[in-house]
Amino acid sequence: MKLVGDTAPAVEQPLRGDLEALCDFGRELSQLGPVLPSRINADPTTTEQGLAKLVLTLVELVRRLLERQAIRRIEAGSLTDEEIERMGQTFLKLDQKMAELTAAFGLKPEDLNLNLGPLGDLM
């Protein structure tokens, strides 16, 4: 099968289209997460990190849902300035605390996700 593109070298590749942007495509596709399902690491020496990842992911999910709900209420105009300030401070502290805990367990922010198989990623 021939490679068909604007500036493509004549090599055998099953690719077609804007091949000059292959690096851009590669960069974006690599952000989609591992193709193979990740699992909680059952190695006794790193069990703590595996469990922390699971728990922190669930906490992060709830935090994001609450934040989204707060934004909806702001958009609906149902909160006073004082309430917005108080909620904002709460979310900011929660955000900072999550960052601290994530780093403390040797995790990166992008680690806080779960692959739900055919449903895709949790977040």
Minimum Å gap between C-beta 25 and other proteins is: 5
Site string for other proteins, 30-69 (x = CB under 8 A): -xx--xx-------------------------x--xxxxx
Task: Kindly list the distances between the CA atom of residue 17 and the CA atoms of 6, 10, 21, 24, 26, in Å, as whole numbers in the listed order.
Answer: 7, 14, 9, 13, 14
Q: Are 26 and 35 in contact, with CB atoms under 8 Å apart?
A: no
Question: Any alpha helices (H) in 18-80, and if so which ranges?
Answer: 22-30, 47-75
Please report where in the chains the tokens 């949790």 appear, as a residue: 122
If one asks whether residue 98 binds other proteins (CB under 8 A), the answer comes out as: no
Least distance (Å) between residue 94 CB and other proteins:
10
Helix (H, G, I), strand (E, B) or coil at 114: coil
Chain positions contacting other proteins, by CB under 8 A: 1, 4, 14-19, 21-22, 24-25, 28-29, 31-32, 35-36, 62, 65-71, 73-75, 77, 81, 83-92, 95, 118-120
